[in-house]
Chains A and B, each alone.
Chain A
Amino acid sequence: EPEVTQTPSHQVTQMGQEVILRCVPISNHLYFYWYRQILGQKVEFLVSFYNNEISEKSEIFDDQFSVERPDGSNFTLKIRSTKLEDSAMYFCASGRLAGGYNEQFFGPGTRLTVL
């Protein structure tokens, strides 16, 4: 069964450093998402991406964040200058367009730890 994959599973970085989190969505999916979950808190939407552009973003997704689909298979989230409060699980999700509904399939997540 196809699944969303994410790398790395755990990333440790120093405050102020740039990080890139990588995702490989399910191959025939057209919609891509990033969510995050700070330890003990709710899963929060960050951004959605379709047709090579951002379709929606949350207030969390400020100028420090960017997304890219560089090669037609990978979907990346870049944080330019990490802060302590960026420590969280980051989940990638993808969805197909079928029948007027669109369940999202989530990857296993990348745990980002900012020191």
Chain B
Amino acid sequence: DAKTTQPTSMDCAEGRAANLPCNHSTISGNEYVYWYRQIHSQGPQYIIHGLKNNETNEMASLIITEDRKSSTLILPHATLRDTAVYYCIVRGVAAGNKLTFGGGTRVLVKP
């Protein structure tokens, strides 16, 4: 089963930052936090991942708490095209490790 807990849904205003929380209280020392999203029925899309430091790329920022038990994905300026289901996934560092998807957070960006 998925080792993360996320809110089922949230709304966000277009142009505003979207902050998506995730709890992963049982994360172990060698496990990364990954974020993916799925727009409608398309294939999941990789967003970002991190181990313990905050990370930023062209899509989003990832803030991981010092105890690593929770994290927040930040979409800095949400657009209508960011409407999707966002998945927070904890995964080991080995390349072959599968991704275990939970229910994710359904984010609706409103004009």
The residues of A with any CB-CB pair to B shorter than 8 Å are: 4, 30-31, 33, 35, 37, 42-45, 48, 50, 55-56, 58, 89, 91, 93, 95-97, 100-109, 111
Band of interface residues on B: 20 to 34
Contact A109 B43 (CB under 8 A): yes
The residues of B with any CB-CB pair to A shorter than 8 Å are: 32, 34, 38, 41-46, 49, 87, 93-103
Contacts A42-B101, A42-B103, A103-B49 given: A48-B44 contact, CB under 8 Å?
Answer: no
Q: What 15 additional pairs, Cβ within 8 angstroms, besides A101-B32, A104-B99?
A: A31-B96, A33-B99, A35-B99, A37-B41, A43-B87, A48-B98, A50-B96, A91-B43, A93-B44, A93-B99, A101-B49, A102-B94, A106-B43, A106-B46, A111-B41
Contact B34 A103 (CB under 8 A): yes
Cβ of A101: which chain B residues have Cβ within 8 Å of it? 32, 49, 93
Interface of A is mostly: strand
